[in-house]
Structure 1
Amino acid sequence: MSKDVVIVSAARTPIGSFLGALSTVPAPKLGAAAIKGALNKINLKPEMVQEVLMGNVVQAGTGQAPARQAAIYAGIPDSVPCTTINKVCASGMKAVMQAAQSIALGDADIIVAG
């Protein structure tokens, strides 16, 4: 029997213009801002997160494991497994889908995904 899955908080990265103020901010730092925002909205301690699944449309120039980088910048412990999903424009949605499946199957209770 699968568990119910709910989204308890959401945050997004800011929207900027081409070559605008955000053009120099690395993707993992934008991801970290979204993670922190979502956790802060519900007063969830980073230590309670059991997994991080983050989509990244274009990984070129972001370094290795953008999801891990974002999690570390957001204060999530190094012991938490992190996975970067690359499905181009569907990356974030695929991350949410995989998180929902993991929770439904009982593999985890609290996953950051996006």
Structure 2
Amino acid sequence: DTTPDELLSAVMTAVLQDVNLPPEALGDICVGNVLQPGAGALIARVAQFLSGIPETVPCSSVNRQCSSGLQAIINIAGGIQNGSYDIGLACGVETMSLRSANNPGDISTSIMENSKARDCLIPMGITSENVAEKFGVSRKKQDAFALASQQKAAKAQQLGLFKTEIVPVKTTVLDDQGNQKTITVDQDEGIRPSTTLEGLAKLKPAFKEDGSTTAG
């Protein structure tokens, strides 16, 4: 229920507080973001103002798919290196639930007639299928790896190892009855400690009918 600009603002605010940096000291802000809205206010700029950073600090977004956050770091580091400014803020933000990656919008005829342009519409899950097939990574091996990954993440969360890298976010959500309530989210919700090989084996392929990549 929480918008990406609110999530990004929480991180921006925490970073400035952690290093005791006045917002106006920033020379630039660059935010990696893949699923950017096609029009309207820029997520990064809105988050900037929600964080109390003045409009005198320039801000931009960059999209290099899965490397967008890394590209933001490169851009800010480059600006510091070439002397454009002394301090910059590089971030990344995404929301897979509020911005659908499966809806590319209106597709022109010219895109569908060009094979390379058309291939840009293929979901990343198909790449997973292609890699698994090319290198012989079986469904059994993938399930075993997924189980180990879930177990490691659950153990790390139990030991509190993620606390130093997570900013608690206070937000308002709707409960099962449709009533609003305020909660504080301070840990990842995607970790599933109860995952089993038997449960993983029951999952259907997510991208190809006869594929091996699942939600596990």
Structure 1: which amino acid aligns with 2:48?
A
1:54 and 2:31 matched: yes
**What letter matches 1:71 in structure 2?**
Q
Please tell me whether the aligned partners of residues 31 and 69 of structure 2 are also in contact (alpha carbons under 8 angstroms). Answer: yes
Distance 2:62 2:44 in 1: 8
| CA deviation after TM superposition for structure 1 residue 57, in Å | 2.1
Which of the numbers 22, 42, 48 marks the counterpart of 1:65?
42
- Cα distance in 2 for residues equivalent to 1:40 and 1:62: 31
TM-score (norm 1): 0.73
Amino acid at match of 2:18: K
CA contact (8 A) 2:24 2:54 kept: yes
How many residues align? The count is: 91
Q: Higher relative contact order by CA 8 Å / sep ≥ 6: 1 or 2? A: 1
SS at match of 2:20: coil
In structure 2, C-alpha distance between the alignment counterparts of 1:95 and 1:62, rounded to whole Å: 21
Q: In structure 2, the residue corresponding to 1:112 is in which secondary structure?
A: strand
SS in 1 for 2:29: strand
Please, what is the CA RMSD of the aligned residues?
A: 1.6
| Matching residue's letter, 2:13 | K
| Equivalent position of 2:77 in the other structure | 100
User: Where do 4+ consecutive residues of structure 1 move more than 3 Å?
Assistant: 60-63
Q: Which residue of 2 aligns with 1:78?
A: 55
Counterpart residue identity of residue 72, structure 1: F
Partners of 2:27 and 2:82 lie apart in 1 by 14
User: Taking every aligned residue pair, what percent have the same amino acid on both sides?
Assistant: 36
CA contact (8 A) 2:24 2:56 kept: no
Task: Write the distance in 2 (CA, Å) between the matches of 1:68 and 1:79.
Answer: 11
Corresponding residue for 1:15?
none
Larger radius of gyration: 2
Which sections of structure 2, spanning at least 5 residues, go unmatched?
92-216
1:53–1:112 contact (8 Å) kept in structure 2: yes
- For structure 1, the 5+ residue unaligned runs are 1-23
Q: CA deviation at 1:70?
A: 1.2
Q: Is the 8 A contact 1:51 1:82 kept in 2?
A: yes
* Aligned match of 1:18: none
